Amino acid sequence: MELNNYNFGGFFRKNNLVGIRNYIAVIPTVGCVNEVAKRIAFNTKIVQPFLHHQGCCQLSPDLNTVTRVLKGIGNNPNVGAVLLVSLGCESVSAEEIREVIGKNKPVESVRLQEIGGITKTVKEGKRIVKKLANELELKRDNVSLDKLSVGIKCGASDATSGLASNPAVGQAVDILIENGATVIFGETTEVLGAEHILSRRAINKLVGEKILNKVNMMEKRANACGVDMRGGQPTAGNIRGGITTIEEKSLGAIVKSGTKSINDVLEYGEAPKEKGLYFMDSPGREMEFLTGVVAAGCQIILFTTGIGAPQGFPFVPVIKITGNKKTYQHLIEHMDVNVSKIIEGGESIQEAGKKIVEKIIEISSGIKTKSELSGYDSSGLNANIYVTGPVI
C-alpha cells in the first residue's frame, strides 16, 4: 500500500518541521483580549486569530494545560510567525509562552494594560503583523509524507460513518503510517465500550493500560454528574442518524484509526516525540478536539461526518469526508470527499482510502479545503481549549 514518490510542497521551519500553510497567528493569552486579537487579524489574508476563553481564574492543572496548548498552537508548523496578545494580569505567563515559541519562529507580543487600551493595542498589533509578514518563508520545498502529522476526527456521525467514511479513513491512516507519517486520534468519550479493542493494539502492556485508564477516568467523570450520558454521547443528532448506543458509536468510531499499533497515549495538546500512531485523551466536541491535535503539531485534519458538520480551524485545513450520499449532495459547500460508493458497492474501502491520501497530498500542496474556501474557519471563533476543572 506504499505510495512511493507521493510528495507535497511545504514550508520548512527552523526546527525542521514543515508547514503546509503559512500564516501569522494572533493568539490571545487569555480570553479577555479575544476582541483585540480579532480586530488585529480582521480583513487580512495571511493573519488568522486563535480565540479561546481560558487563561485566568482556573486551577493549576487547567492553567498548565492552557499554557501547553498555547505553546503548541504557536509552534504548529503551519504558523510562520506569531503575535501574542496579553491583557497583563492573566494567570498564564505570556513571557513563558513567547520564549518557547521564539525558539522556532518570529514571535512578538502586545499587552493592552501596558499600551493603553484597545485602540492603541490594535494599532500596534497591526504594525507588528505587517512587519512579521515580511519575515515569512515564501518558498515551498518538495517534501515526503513522513513530514506530515495528521489529526483524525469524526463528528455529526450517522450509520454511514461506521460503514463507509470511518473505515476509509482507517485505510488512509494505515497508508500514512506505512509511509512514515504521524497520526493522532482520540475522542475518549467515543471509545467507551470499545476500549478493550483499542488496548489490544497498544505497542506494549503499559500503553494498553493507559488507554483503559483514560477511558475509565472519563466514564467516572460522566457518572459523577448523576445523569444519563445519552443525548450527550451519542448526541441527539447521532441518534437521529441511526446510532442507538455509545458502544455502537464507539465501534464505528475507532475504525478510523486503522489497524496499526498505538505507540502511546498523549495528554491533551501534547506533541508526540516520535512518528507513528497515537491516542490523545480528549473530548468528542469539535471545538476542543481540533485545538488539541493542532497544539500537538498536526498540519492537517481528516474529519468524517454523516449528517454534516461545517467546522474548520483557523490555520489548519480540515478535510470533510462523508459516506452519506445525500449529505454530500445537500451540503456540497462543506464536503471535500464522497465515499458513499462503498455502501453502493461501486468503490472498495481500499480504493477510498487511497483517494483520501491523494486528497491529503493535494491539500498539503496548497489546494484549499471547502471550509477554507468558504472562510468558515477564518474568524478563529470555531476553537476552544479543553479544561476539566471549575472556573474560580
- Which sequence spans correspond to the domains of the chain? 23-133, 143-374
Indicate whether this model's pTM tops 0.85.
yes
pLDDT digits (tens, 9 = 90+) for 323-337: 999 999 999 999 999
Distance between CA atoms of 390 and 221, rounded to whole angstroms? 13
Categorize the per-residue pLDDT at 1 as very low, low, confident or very high, splitting at 50, 70 and 90. very low
- Residue 86 in contact with residue 33, Cβ under 8 Å? yes
Distance between CA atoms of 284 and 145, rounded to whole angstroms? 27
* Top-level class of domain 23-133: alpha beta
379, 335, 332, 381: which is closest to 356 by C-alpha?
335
Going by the DSSP 8-state scheme, the letter that residue 321 receives in this structure is E
Buried-state track 8-47, b at ≥16 Cβ within 10 A, e below 16: bebbbbeeebbbbbbbbbbbbbbbbbbebbbbbbeebebb
Distance between CA atoms of 198 and 263, rounded to whole angstroms? 12
pLDDT digits (tens, 9 = 90+) for 101-129: 999 999 999 999 999 999 999 999 999 99
pLDDT digits (tens, 9 = 90+) for 250-281: 999 999 999 999 999 999 999 999 999 999 99
Comparing 33-42, 176-185, 219-228, 229-238, which segment has the lowest mean pLDDT? 229-238
Residue 74, phi then psi, degrees to nearest 5: -65, -30
What pLDDT shows up at residue 225? 86
pLDDT digits (tens, 9 = 90+) for 288-337: 999 999 999 999 999 999 999 999 999 999 999 999 999 999 999 999 99
Q: Residue 2 pLDDT more than 50?
A: no
Q: Helices marked H in 88-200 — which ranges?
A: 94-102, 112-115, 118-133, 159-160, 166-178, 195-199
C-alpha pair distances (Å), 275 with each of 80, 299, 339: 22, 14, 28
What pLDDT shows up at residue 380? 79
pLDDT digits (tens, 9 = 90+) for 24-74: 999 999 999 999 999 999 988 899 999 999 999 999 999 999 999 999 999
Going by the DSSP 8-state scheme, the letter that residue 323 receives in this structure is S
Three-class SS state of 254: helix
354, 360, 314, 366: which is closest to 336 by C-alpha?
360
Q: Residue 369 pLDDT more than 80?
A: yes
Categorize the per-residue pLDDT at 246 as very low, low, confident or very high, splitting at 50, 70 and 90. confident
Peptide bond into 234 cis (omega under 30): yes
What pLDDT shows up at residue 276? 98
Across the chain, mean pLDDT equals 95
pLDDT digits (tens, 9 = 90+) for 180-209: 999 999 999 999 999 999 999 999 999 999
Q: What percent of the chain has pLDDT over 90?
A: 86
Count of H helices and E strands in the chain?
Answer: 16, 14
